[in-house]
Chains A and B, each alone.
Chain A
Amino acid sequence: MTTSTPPTPTPSAKNPEQINPPGGAERRGIGQVLRSQLQQSLAFATLVVLIIFFSVSSSSFFTVSNISGILLSTAVIGILAVGTTFVIITGGIDLSIGTGMTLCAVMTGVFITNMGLPLVVGVIGGIATGALMGFINGFNITFLGLPPFIATLAMMLIAQGLALVISGVAPIYFAEQAFKDIALGTLIPGLPNAVLILFLCALVAYVVLSKTILGRYTFAIGSNEEATRLSGVNTRKWTILIYTVAGIFTGIAGVVIAARLGSAQPQLGTGYELQAIAAVIIGGTSLLGGRGSILGTLIGALIMSVLINGLRILSIQTEWQNVVVGIVILVAVFTDSLRRRREA
């Protein structure tokens, strides 16, 4: 899962490093391959250093139970981050994923608990809610010409409000164990299903981003939307599709959080979008668009949860935990930009 740099329809001036030699990705120079490896290895190195540091600091850190706990705590944010990686690579942003996730959880509860629909239908309904929100985001951005920040900010508020209204400002509980098993069952012994879902989501996203035309256009739109449009690509259609894909991941995250908590908690969600965006950025995806990777995002999400878990294990005060996480985000993004400036 390395940084994918497919051929853009026309060379872009915005991101010189994205220009590929004629012939496309297959014939990328060795230097470029190494460079993209380096970017991931930088994030990966950070992750390894953190794990070593916490393992040395506390004997409670590197245990099967705690590692499993860290992976589980990565699941929800990780799935959101994987979805929003697509949006950020296009140069956009999606602020609606946190409360959107909550709305999807609530809708899943409405379908399964309130309406008594079969589990599968409820889960699909929850995910479809996410897809619909993503579609509306994409539509508002392309056809109404709203900046992504504003369009998704509005959706964030709408989703938050609707989640409260539809649930009647009360949690919706799931009675069926089968639903809770979506997150906490163990198809692979010792590994909660939520973690499995995260890895599957990342795998699918990786394939879509690096092997399909949707992935190519995601990078192309992020590199130079105008040039992409002029070369005959219906950028509106593809942008809507990309936001819809991100929405599907939001829906999956909604189902997973509802399954883990055994309930849809309508007041949750605010702040989750920023954690997901932070994971994406730590993973080396550029907020300017045009470059990024799913593996990076996965590592970014793991860095966040390892850090938070480690600080909790060391009983660092909650106030200071926030400070440390903030500093790590700064350092991670700064070293990444330093490295890129040197290469440019």
Chain B
Amino acid sequence: MKNRKKMSVLAAAAIAVVALAGCAQGGDAGSGGDAGGGEGIEIAMISKGFQHQFWQAVKTGAEQRAEELGVTITFEGPASETEVDAQLQMLQAAIDRSPDAIAYAALDPEACIPLIDAAGAADIPVVQFDAGCDSDVPVSIAKTDSLGAGALAADHMAELMGGEGEVAIVGHSQINSTGVERRDGFVDQMEAEYPDIEIVDIQYGDGDHLKSADIAKAMIAAHPDLKGIYGTNEGSAVGVVNALTELSLTGDDLTVIGFDSGKAQMDAITNGLMAGAITQNPIGIGAETVQAAFDAINGETPEEVIDTGYFFYDADNMTDEEIAAVLYE
């Protein structure tokens, strides 16, 4: 009896060890590009996150440029885009390491000011990407004009709807700047240019595929005349597409316009469930950020605002060279 108990303890311990080993094995997956450049320059990138494909694409772009320039980067971010505090701790730790430059994407434009000022006081050049901090220290920012991108989504939605009817928005955040600006850009453009289009509902699914699908289904149930839904990020847009599939609807019943890329969204556009989507240039954001940091380290002045651009893509132009280059699976 005692022996058996011991055996079961051993068995459990063995399982735990295996689980840990699996953990260690995959542990190197998240490390930054360690190009063997002779200059020994280190750029610390603090992102808004790393789990979404978008941030992985930013990281890819950053790593590619880092390799070309022969510099080393680190890339980290909090688990979700609501963890302002966790991100500030990462920023603090980066400053303490005193890298040659810091690249930062602010989750909150105010909370970061003291730390960014401290980096400035320590003579660490700071560049920004995606979203800025309200401080005078950073020398540049590489980002998408989210208001313009939202307006472009509105233009295409209006065109596909024939300039009239009801439309709804499944947003990913009512707090962070991309969520707010992509929504406002869309809403403002609709109100200014398309008086016969009514925005009947705006709800937020945190970019969670499942939540966004359930929201879209409720919207479709509540508004039988709904002609279009705009999803403001990858998870929101894919959620809307899932809702269509589950209700056995097609792109002919409802016009769906999404944001960013990813395999699921690109498939939906190819097979006609989604009319099209706005894509940013995340690889470009990563690359331009590292370039700006590199320039700043070398005493040059990078452009204050680097607009990395945005495009509308649909089944017709998805394979064009210019578009295909900025899409990611």
Q: Chain A interface (Cβ within 8 Å of chain B)?
A: 58, 60-61, 63, 65-66, 69, 72-73, 76, 132, 135-136, 139, 143, 158, 160-162, 164-166, 168-171, 173, 184, 192, 257, 260-263, 265-268, 270, 308-309, 312-315, 317-319
Max chain A CB contacts within 10 Å: which of B50, B210, B263? B210
**Interface residue B12 (Cβ < 8 Å from any Cβ of A):** yes
B60–chain A nearest beta-carbon distance, Å = 11
Among A66, A267, A318, contact of B203 (Cβ-Cβ < 8 Å) = A318
Q: A132-B15, A309-B214 are known contacts; what are 8 more A-B pairs with Cβ within 8 Å?
A: A58-B222, A66-B218, A136-B19, A143-B12, A158-B19, A158-B23, A165-B30, A168-B29
Contact A315 B214 (CB under 8 A): no
Name which of B34-42, B51-59, B306-314 contacts chain A.
B51-59
A136-B16 CB under 8 A given contacts A69-B214, A184-B246, A318-B174: yes
List, in ascending order, chain B residues with CB within 8 A of A76's CB: 210
A136-B221 CB under 8 A given contacts A165-B26, A262-B264: no
Max chain B CB contacts within 10 Å: which of A143, A257, A267? A267
Q: How far is the CA of A232 from the CA of B317 in the complex (A)?
A: 72
List, in ascending order, chain A residues with CB within 8 A of B204's CB: 318
Among A66, A161, A192, A267, contact of B23 (Cβ-Cβ < 8 Å) = A161
List, in ascending order, chain B residues with CB within 8 A of A257's CB: 210
A169-B210 CB under 8 A given contacts A135-B12, A136-B16, A318-B174: no
Contact B210 A268 (CB under 8 A): yes
Q: Chain B interface (Cβ within 8 Å of chain A)?
A: 9, 12, 15-16, 19, 22-23, 26-27, 29-30, 50-53, 56, 79-80, 174, 200-201, 203-204, 208-210, 214-215, 217-219, 221-224, 235, 242, 245-247, 262-264
Q: How far is the CA of A317 from the CA of B171 in the complex (A)?
A: 12
Q: How far is the CA of A266 from the CA of B53 in the complex (A)?
A: 11
Interface residues of A: mostly helix, strand, loop or mixed? helix
B304–chain A nearest beta-carbon distance, Å = 32
Contact B79 A60 (CB under 8 A): no
List, in ascending order, chain A residues with CB within 8 A of B23's CB: 158, 161-162, 165
Q: How far is the CA of A265 from the CA of B208 in the complex (A)?
A: 9
Contact A173 B52 (CB under 8 A): no
List, in ascending order, chain B residues with CB within 8 A of A318's CB: 174, 203-204
- Specify the chain B residue showing the minimal Cβ separation from A168: B29
List, in ascending order, chain B residues with CB within 8 A of A63's CB: 221
Contact B209 A261 (CB under 8 A): yes
Contact B221 A313 (CB under 8 A): yes
List, in ascending order, chain B residues with CB within 8 A of A160's CB: 79
Contact B51 A164 (CB under 8 A): yes
Among B80, B174, B222, contact of A313 (Cβ-Cβ < 8 Å) = B222
